[in-house]
Amino acid sequence: MSYDYVIELRDLNRHYTMGEETVKALDGVNLEIKRGEYVSIVGPSGSGKTTLFNLIGGLDKPTGGSVFIDGVDIAQLDAYELAWLRCRKIGYIFQSFNLIQVLTALENVALPTVFAGVPREEGLRKAQHILESVGLGTRVHHRPSELSAGQQQRVAIARALANDPSIILADEPTGNLDLNTGMEIIDLLHGLNKTKGLTLVAATHDLKMIKASDRIVWMRDGQIERIERG
Amino acid sequence: MARESIGRVHFSLGDAARLGYDHIKRRWSRAAINIASIALGLSFYATLVLSDTFYGTYERLGGSQLSVESYQYWLVGVALVVSVVGITNAMLIAVYERYKEIGTMKCLGALDRHIILLFLVESSFQGLAGGLAGFLLGLAAAVASTGFTTGFDIALKVPPLQMLTLFTGSVALALTLSMTATLYPAWRASKLRPVEALRYEL
Ligand SMILES: Nc1ncnc2c1ncn2[C@@H]1O[C@H](COP(=O)(O)OP(=O)(O)OP(=O)(O)O)[C@@H](O)[C@H]1O
Ligand SMILES: [Mg+2]
């Protein structure tokens, strides 16, 4: 069975209680995202973008409401199923790349295939192929410390693609990059969204990134303020 | 996606060994401290049991009766405890340094027990290396300290099987100590929630 919405958020809340005070990082968020859509999440600092990223990605648990991925309420999944979801269904891209420093670009990209149970040779071959497709074919044996920021983010994108996920989640993917490098990363992500039909959800401050998207979700104080067509 | 279509994630001992080896190679200075700590504690132990064995062999071959003072075994016990505490501490710091990495691994599909496996495999490598080095150090020290009375070739007169037993026992002890010292840090690492681990900036 195939669902219309690859991501569905129902009355999603994430509250933090600190002593007397309750911080409503997310407060009643409802959103449906279609397969192949490119959605930008925009809003001032502290508006709840990262919190939303974490909840959609199954990295944090909501205080209330539900996240459905391909029609499955992820709160119902046990630790094993959740790990599989993170491994196979979702690719994560972070502002600070989060590459494993001791591994080469190739090994970083192959790591998710290890968790997916792909035989080593096949995983490495696939990683090589993906790295070539993101323009890093000649840098595969370099470690993150030997790569530029833009190249590191390319490795991170390649790693996010390693298990052919249907969703790419990105939290400020251009936040640590200069203008031109940021532009290249946006083009790369946008291209993946268009050519592979990947659903792309990106929290961002970057106007260039927003412009390329199908829909723009404006957040304020943990709520969706408005949704615009791109 | 039907829930039934959800599969399982994988991370074998071989995968852990490969990744653990990369970590030790790349963060060699931290591993070296752990290995040295185990090696020193263990060399103390090995010196004692080997000296005892050498005296025993000497006596069996017609020499006079000599033995290691029993209070020295107390000291060995203390030295081993100190090295376990040292490794636990070093491993806790290593976990702290690797918060982000642990969070990232969980995003890529790692289960809690995969993280534990990785840390235990790393510590078993360190335990093996420390055990080997410690035994050799202990052997040299035992020969040097007993040699004047028993003769410096005494090590060669010990039955090989007895020597092999001592060697295996020493390395097994080092392995056990190193892994015991890592249990708590590894458990702590495995329990990290991905959000906390990822938010962490060093
Ligand atoms: N672990 C936490 N404990 C308490 N409050 C938190 C925690 N994490 C986030 N918050 C609060 O939740 C709110 C939303 O934070 P979030 O990180 O989602 O914002 P953001 O939109 O990503 O901001 P930025 O653009 O600065 O990255 C903020 O007020 C923040 O202080
Ligand atoms: Mg944020």
pLDDT tens string A171-184:
999 999 999 999 99
Q: What is the mean pLDDT of residues A142-166?
A: 98
Separation of alpha carbons A61 and A87, rounded Å:
17
Residue-range domain boundaries for chain B = 13-198
Residues in A closer than 8 angstroms to B8, CB to CB, are 80, 84, 117
Do A72 and B2 lie within an 8 Å CB cutoff?
Answer: yes
The residue that leads in pLDDT, B198 or A64, is A64
Of all residues in chain A, the percent with pLDDT exceeding 70 is 99
**Which atom in ligand 1 lies closest to the alpha carbon of residue B196?**
1
Work out whether strand A21-34 and strand A38-42 pair parallel, antiparallel, or are unpaired: unpaired
CB contact under 8 A, B11 and A1: no
A115, B109: Cβ pair inside 8 Å? yes
Report residue A77's pLDDT band, with 50, 70 and 90 as the boundaries. Answer: very high
| Separation in Å, CA B78 to CA A21, B14, B52, B75 | 49, 35, 19, 5
Instruction: State the DSSP code for A85.
Output: I
pLDDT at A16 over 90: yes
Mean pLDDT of chain A: 96
- Span A88-117, mean pLDDT? 97
Query: Could you read off the pLDDT of B128-157 as tens digits, one per residue?
Result: 999 999 999 999 999 999 999 999 999 999
Question: Which of A97, A100, A113, A124 would best serve as a mutation to test chain B binding (most B beta carbons within 10 A)?
Answer: A100
| Ligand 1 pocket by Cβ (under 6 Å) | A 16, 18, 23, 25, 43, 45-51
- Determine the average pLDDT of the residues in A144-165: 98
pTM above 0.80, yes or no: yes
Q: What integer pLDDT is reported at residue A10 of this predicted model?
A: 98
> CA dist A142 to A98, A112, A155, A191, B169, Å?
15, 18, 10, 25, 41
The greatest distance separating any two alpha carbons of chain A, rounded to the nearest whole angstrom, comes to 55
ipTM for the complex? Answer: 0.94
Query: Which H, E and C letters describe B168-197, residue by residue?
Result: HHHHHHHHHHHHHHHHHHHHHHHHCCHHHH
Q: Is the Cα torsion angle A168, A174, A176, A180 positive or negative in sign?
A: positive
pLDDT tens, residue by residue, B62-118: 988 888 888 888 999 998 999 899 989 989 998 899 999 999 999 999 999 999 999
**Paired strand residues for A17:** A22
Positive or negative: CA dihedral A154, A111, B193, B188: negative
Q: Tell how far the Cα of A174 is from the centroid of ligand 2, in angstroms.
A: 12
A106 versus B94: the higher-pLDDT residue is: A106
pLDDT at A98: 97
Computed over every residue of chain B, the mean pLDDT equals 93
Three-state SS for A101? coil
Please give the Cα distance from B168 to A40 (Å, whole number). 60
Distance in angstroms (rounded) separating the CA atoms of residues A85 and A167: 10
CB atoms within 10 A of CB B128: 17
User: How confident is the model at residue A3, as a pLDDT?
Assistant: 64
Residue A1 has pLDDT above 50, yes or no: no
